[in-house]
Amino acid sequence: MRRPKKLLIYHGILSKFNQYDNPYDYEKIAKDLAGYNVIVLGDGLQELDNEDFDKSKEILDRVRYFRPNIEIYGHVDTDLEDGIWLEKVNNWYNNLDVNGIFMNNSGYDYGTWATNGRRAFIWKVDYIHSKAMKCFVNASNPDHVLGVNNDRNYPNTTWNPNQLGTNLSFFDIYLLEHFVHGKYDDSNELKYEYPGTWELRGKNANKYREKIRLASASQLDHSSIDPQYPTIVDIMIQASALMHNLDYVSMSDVNYSKNSNFCLNISFNRDIDRDWGLPCEITHSGLDYYRFYEHGCIFMRWVPGQEGANFNSY
């Protein structure tokens, strides 16, 4: 069994990261951030006139000292007009020397053909790669950025009339956002994803496994979380990442800490480091989902009010 690596999507103020545990202690903040393999920072931090810019740069320099191979990405919305998009990307590159760009709102369900159509998306990916940076792509449907399968709601006749493929590569990342838990309608209520949709999204993303790395992000109400003890949602997120063989997994508050500067962490069961053998396909009986291995099983229950998960080798 492969242990997913730790992803942090953090849109809060860097110098206030987990401020109750790290009261403006930049060295401790840097050490905590260095506990992650990949970090995504919020838009605006890259600007020289940002009041937190100098502090953030100092912290990130120390993060790289503690973890030289860490990957740091800067947030830029793909659906921006080209000139604004270029300025933001260049500022991340020139001012904070990030490893890549987090391409938010990359699907056809955002922007226009001129900003998010396949030809425009390919141009943006090529530009990021030309700077020796990586792409971390957020799109609700992977076919909008990776494949040519037609989406009848956003048909190829409009969004990809020339049936162009993708120029994303194995060193880039695709995000399954709100995977397992998060916001799924116009309400502010956090809730579980519909299991059939969860299974389909995971399988669709895994079709492109040979082309790109896969990550998931789930959102919770941080006020109800005790970081010392895993919750049912925490365990469901772990089981989901393992069941779909994801490369990275993240858990954050509903606004990616934009308003709280509070971070949630995931600690996986050590049992997953054992040799589980070859996996079978995901199966389900009603709302109970299973993935069997030669020497273990991952189980997830999606029954409302009875949600839960476990994973054990034998």
> How far apart, in whole angstroms, are the C-alpha atoms of residue 107 and residue 103?
10
CB-count burial class (<10 Å; 0-12, 13-18, 19+) for 118: buried
Q: What secondary structure letter does DSSP report for 167?
A: -
pLDDT band at 186 (very low <50, low <70, confident <90, very high): low
Q: What pLDDT does residue 215 have?
A: 92
182 — pLDDT class (breaks 50, 70, 90): confident
Architecture of domain 5-275: Alpha-Beta Barrel (3.20)
The one-letter amino acid code at 264 reads L
- The pTM assigned to this predicted structure is 0.92
Res 59 pLDDT > 60: yes
Helix-strand-coil split of the chain, %, nearest 5: 30, 25, 45
Q: Give the pLDDT band (50/70/90) at residue 131.
A: very high
Report domain extents, the chain.
Answer: 5-275
**Rounded alpha-carbon distances, angstroms, from residue 3 to 164, 207, 209, 269, 275:** 34, 20, 16, 9, 11
Q: At 102, which helix (H) or strand (E)?
A: strand 100-104
More confident residue, 220 or 125: 125
pLDDT at position 250: 87
Asked if 136 contacts 171 with a C-beta cutoff of 8 angstroms, the reply is: no
Instruction: Supply angle C-alpha 219, 225, 228, rounded to 5.
Output: 125
Higher per-residue confidence, 256 vs 174: 174
Q: What mean pLDDT do residues 82-103 have?
A: 98
pLDDT at 230 over 70: no
> Please, which pLDDT band fits residue 86 given cuts at 50, 70 and 90?
very high
pLDDT on residue 49: 95
Distance CA 16, CA 21 (A): 10
Q: How confident is the model at residue 287, as a pLDDT?
A: 96
Position 120 pLDDT exceeds 80: yes
E strand map for 156-305: 173-177, 181-182, 191-192, 213-220, 248-253, 283-285, 288-293, 296-301
Tokens of 110: 């955002």
d(CA 292, CA 295): 8
Q: What is the secondary structure of 82-148 as a DSSP string?
A: HHHHHHHHHHHHHHH--SEEEEES-STTSS-HHHHSHHHHHHHHHHHHHTT-EEEEE-SSGGGTT--
Strand partners, 285: 288
| Each residue's pLDDT tens digit, 269-314 | 667 778 899 999 999 999 999 999 999 999 999 999 899 999 888 8
Q: Quick one: pLDDT at residue 53? A: 96
**Considering the chain, what is the average pLDDT of its residues?**
89
As a whole number of angstroms, the distance between CA 231 and CA 16 comes to 25
